[in-house]
Chains A and B, each alone.
Chain A
């Protein structure tokens, strides 16, 4: 079984980086073949270009600019997103992965104008994230990243198992709370 881990934090000393390392280690120890994709390290360009926008619906030519990422996504039976929440959403580099790689013919098909799931080989879906603000603050804004994962990504993958693991109020979290969250993520990944 193959797991694609998408990581979206620029700094190696961040808590996100520690979470990322824990996810990869734990999955590998449980026998997963991990395809680790650090979007910042590979210099992923998140900006959908004018040419890509014009050719967006032309399957299969549309996936040519991101063919390698499409292949890795299609090869995965599990998808794990590890990212910090910035300004009530994904970092731009991860948002751009959805804009450019989750294309028609890849993540969904349009049948009579309706979106049909097209990544149903992904049976496990998880997000591991940290919020600077409190849970209440995220809820006030409608918690957009949680909805994107639990509804929009769920909608195109239809996984058997889905986990959304979040540490809120990170700016004020104690060392113990951070360590506790790391352990929780480790336990969840063992059971994944």
Chain B
């Protein structure tokens, strides 16, 4: 198993960092090879520049500004994203990682003929995991429509292997979490991960 873990939280002491540590530990226990991208620590720039936009369709030159990220994305068979949900979605930094790295020729193929659709380009990815925290309750998140979860588990999922397995776990009402609720979440996450990685 080759796992790419993308971590996006500004604070190394956050609960999200503890979730990341657990994910990495469970991957290690399965003997997976792990590559980790800590987007804040790397100072990743989430803004797609005018130059990148102008050259967006020019493969393979389009991947030059994000060569390492694109190579790791193509290398992995297990993609795991760990982040806090802000405004019902991904932090801008993680959204920008999608904008800049999920390029034509990397993550998908643009239609080549009239009537053709966009084709998936990450079909080597057979596991997609999303582990997050939400300030909102489960009910409010669902009513809004869980845009973050859908962006990844439906949108990005469309680019992966047709039978790609998915896993999702969120600690809701994060702002009123307690030591006990956080410990319960980590225990649940361990079970989710062990099923997911089995």
Contacts and interface: CB of A to CB of B under 8 A. Distances in A.
Interface in B160-179: 173, 175-176
A98 interface: yes
Contacts of B136: 115
Contact of A89 (B10, B89, B176): B89
A91 B48 contact: yes
B124 to A, nearest CB: 19
B53 A141 contact: no
Interface residues of B, number: 47
B47 interface: yes
B63 to A, nearest CB: 15
A140 to B, nearest CB: 6
Given A46-B93, A113-B173, A137-B118, A144 B150 contact: yes
B93 A142 contact: no
Interface string B69-107: 000000000000000001111111101101100100000
A89 B54 contact: no
Interface of A: 9-11, 14, 40, 46-50, 52-54, 57, 86-93, 95-96, 98-100, 102, 110, 113, 115, 132-134, 137, 140-142, 144-145, 147-148, 151-152, 155, 171-172
Interface of B: 9-11, 14, 40, 46-50, 53-54, 86-93, 95-96, 98-99, 102, 110-111, 114, 117-118, 136, 140, 143-148, 150-151, 154-156, 158, 173, 175-176
